[in-house]
Amino acid sequence: MADVAFVGGGRPLVLEFNPLYAAGYDVPAAHALLVAALGADLARRAGYVALPWAEVLDSAAVLAGERVEQSPAVWLFERM
């Protein structure tokens, strides 16, 4: 399990790694968000157009089979 902060337009920043049992939740939504965000960041670094954060969340929803924003394993906050 990784604690990740999304900064500057949704770019992922890994804060720390923990064993999965430390999460206290079933974590498919958190895993899907991490995969979608890191995949989008890798594509941007390879020269592709950066995805808007809403599209990263849509990709995570496809992977998880649910909106990740609604999962207790994912904490998102509104950006100012």
For 6-25, how does the pLDDT look when each residue is reduced to its tens digit (9 = 90+)?
A: 887 778 888 887 765 565 55
Domain range spanning residue 54? 2-70
Q: What is the pLDDT of residue 48?
A: 94
Contact 26, 65 (CB under 8 A): no
Q: What is the pLDDT of residue 79?
A: 43
Query: What is the rounded average pLDDT of the residues 55-73?
Result: 90
Tell me whether residue 41 is in a domain.
yes
Tell me whether residue 50 is in a domain.
yes
Domain count for the chain, please give it: 1
Q: What is the 3-state secondary structure (H, E, C) of 47-78?
A: CCCCCCHHHHHHHHHHHHCCCHHHCCCCCCCC
For 24-47, how does the pLDDT look when each residue is reduced to its tens digit (9 = 90+)?
A: 556 788 888 888 998 999 999 999
Tell me whether residue 76 is in a domain.
no
Tell me whether residue 80 is in a domain.
no
